[in-house]
Amino acid sequence: MAEILPGPVCHSCGMLIMNKDEFGCEANLTVMNTFYCRYCYWKGQFTEPDITKEEMLEKLSTAMMNSQNVSKEEAREMAWGRMKLLKRWQGK
């Protein structure tokens, strides 16, 4: 069964967005981008435009390993389970 995202989440890193200040914004700073968090998308562009799927997977795995006290393999599996649902990484 596919994981259902609790929403809204960032479609780059998978972070659960808890309040409107955590959404990214377009270049004019007045329009929220509801697909991405402010850490991944700011002023109309990705903050890490060249990050690869593998690099993001490593970044998320490390964060999950540290925050959820799981092995590297478990963290990687969990991170990929979430990443494959995110718009930025689909088809890549």
Q: Is residue 14 part of a domain?
A: no
Which of the two residues, 4 and 17, has the higher pLDDT score?
Answer: 17
Residue 13 in tokens: 């890193």
Number of domains in the chain: 1
Q: What is the pLDDT of residues 40-66, one digit of tens each?
A: 999 999 999 999 999 999 999 999 999
Could you tell me how many residues make up the chain?
Answer: 92
CA distances (Å), origin 83, targets 21, 55, 71: 23, 12, 18
User: b vs e for 4-16, b when ≥16 Cβ sit within 10 Å of the residue's Cβ?
Assistant: eeeebbbbbbbbe
Identify the band that residue 1 occupies on the pLDDT scale cut at 50, 70 and 90. very low
Q: Is residue 66 part of a domain?
A: yes
Q: Is residue 5 part of a domain?
A: no
The string of DSSP codes covering 3-72 is PPP-S-B-TTT--B--SGGGEEE-TTSSSEEEEEETTTEETTEESSTT--HHHHHHHHHHHHHHHHT--H
Q: Is residue 84 part of a domain?
A: yes
Q: Give the whole-number percent of the chain exceeding pLDDT 70.
A: 92
Full domain range(s) for residue 51:
20-89
pLDDT score at 47: 98
pLDDT score at 31: 86
